[in-house]
Structure 1
Amino acid sequence: MTDTLAATTSRTYLRPPTADRDLLFARFTPLFAQIAEGNVDRERSRTFPYAQVDLLKTNGFGLLRIPEEFGGYGASLEQTFDLLAALAAADPNVAHVWRNHLAFVEDRLNAARSAATDRWLARFRDGEFVGGGWTEANNGTFANIATTVRRDGDVYRVDGAKFYATGSLYADWLDVIGASEDGLLTALVRRDDPGVELTDDWTGFGQQTTASGSATYAGAAVDPEDVFGITERFVYQGHFYQVAILAVLTGITAAAVREATTALRARARNYPQAADQTPTRDPQLLQVIGEADAHGFGAAAALSAAARDLDAVAAAHAAGDLDARTALVRAAQLSTDRAQLVIIEHALTATTEVFDALGASGVSSSIALDRHWRNARTLASHNPRVYKARIVGDWLVNGTDPVPVLGGIGGPRGGQGN
């Protein structure tokens, strides 16, 4: 395996992870603490966190997965998603904004070595940021996609409308999928192209500052080197997008436990029926916090397990071992589906039940604990969990492949979704 890896690793930009987890957290934890400041006020006023996203850009958060050889930190996927969860515990809107960028970085690392991708790595090192643009507006699907990416002389032109364009208002580039005579293509469109119009019309009750509104393209020009066939995108793309959401949900769960603990410590009185008149000594209230913390522990464990399976897929791809990669993609699909079921349950339960430890003071808008449930419920709706248990059960009972090809869109179930 070592000889194979040495012979093939130069074909992609993937390398074995070299980052030290403690050093990564030592670098980024102070930044996350800055981002946490003002989070409640931003939630209440729907203030977009431009400064907070820029803070991460300028400090290299987008370089986590890029190997040290190419100017990054050399983090594993497990480390990357752990950091994303820690960022989400500070501000889940900021964390969700990074989902599309980190996914496109991963795509370029999986790509064959080329001058065009070298330029993308240079853009990443310069802090350039990629937002999303896959989901069709007006209830369109990938089966009847109306957006087009067509050759026009020396450039491609993008025309169409997208929704759920997460991170678009913070972006330098927009990752857009469209139809062409040669099948589905993705094009990286410059945010400032005159043919691009972005509208902040996201109306969800959660994740309100992720810039997940509409994007309209009218003849936006794209360099041919920034257009890719959809089947060329990295094979675990769908898993990556889903695990990124699970990382944000894990961070939300941790934040809800942390803030509920603080709120319980601040309680000065208790109900007449209480086991102890001092809230911090009431065993039932302590039980609520303990159970919520266990939900956070379970979410973090499931996230790490799913991320490790993606690290295994990446290693097989880097080694050029396609047989191993196929088996590992299946294992990753199953672990991602299982993690989705587990983490969503943990997040929604914890963000609801922490209120049982707080009484009426827990619903004060000054602490805005409701934002944790709203944000978790919104993220949990991106890719409905109702189907996941059936998929896993069908695999276990009938051997039905959990990784069907869905029009070549990133391979597995669970792509960007809505």
Structure 2
Amino acid sequence: MMDIKEIMQILPHAFPFLLVDRVIEIEVPRRIVGLKSITYNEAFFPGHFPGDPLMPGMLIIEAMAQTAGILAYKAMGEEAEGKGVYLMALREAKFRRPVLPGDQLLLEMETVKRRGNIWVFRGKAKANGQIVAEAEIMAMIRENKSKSPQIHPTAIVHPSCELAEGVEIGPYSIIGEDVKIGENTWIGSHVVIDQGTVIGKNCQIFHHASIGTPPQHIRYQGEKTSVIIGDNSVIREFVTIHRGTSFGGGLTKVGNNNFIMAYAHVAHDCQLGDFVIMANAAQLAGHVTVGDHAIIGGMAAVHQFVRIGKFAFIGGATAVPKDIPPYVTASGIRAKLYGINVTNLKRNGFSDEVIRALRKAYKILFRSSKPLKGCIEEIKNSELFTYPEVKDLVEFLEGSKRGITR
């Protein structure tokens, strides 16, 4: 009737305290039957007890209470939005037999009565057809309290850190001095986030990522610099993002809604826009600028100070020593241009008219025998220059200092 994903949308609990795996029967508002499979990997078994694992009796009651909470939430419908189920009292609790690894708890709960926001449930837990526990549970439905940050006991978090509501810090992660982390950002295990880093809300930072650590630059002498990461970004395993240098602006910046895949590297003083995708092991040297919606293929290597234009695509294993214009596709052992990035433009809602204009501009700029400066003047004196996208392309070329990939 309900899988774990649906249950997680109702109950505020998270691992290891979410104790209902599935709901197999529900008659709103009368009764509910839930399941909890007990494995040796449960977090409580190593200490309860070493060599003789038993599920703590109060956790059996907690599983029963969570099952009852689902029933109450479903019964209240829209009225339950923004509210939680909180245990008030426990009566006539009895434990009949131990629960061991390999057991599957059948959690049967019935509504006894309801008065306003107060509910009373009676139920029992069974394993292998036998009752293991029974109790009467009183619960209150009320507004959720603010969701405090969840920090794993093995994580190290500096006292000066600012953690917003809903932040989760995983096992063995280290959060340094003056770090700020926004609402509902999840930090996996063994992550290092060094001093002065600022991370926005709703980000996911996976295991062994390293963010805000010192730049790999021989002139760096420990100056206070930082990394800023925007909202809704995903940073996968073993990604490294180094903080800026004082002589490079002091800031490495990653925008909103970016997806940086495993083993990618963002060096000091890089500036990434929004909706950027870096595939596995893509490497950005220092001071690189990446425009919005750019895609950088796996194992691509970008030289320091290079600019990558918005909506550009760089193929896998491509070396990029010069600027990549916006809207184009570049690939090869040493980057060459292969036309307008039509696929990405269509995905992002560009009209056929704009794409045709960009294609015409591309031919004039990159497939002509004339010098680039003359090609730019030709476009400026044509109707193509009335398109904002073509104007962006021309202005990018005029602002290049490292030279343009062709």
TM range (shorter): under 0.3
Bigger strand fraction: 2
Q: Which one scores higher on RCO, CA 8 angstroms, separation ≥ 6? A: 1
TM-score of the pair, normalised by structure 2 = 0.20
Flag the structure with larger Rg.
Answer: 2
Q: With structure 1 as the length reference, what TM-score do the two structures score?
A: 0.19
Bigger proportion of residues as helix: 1
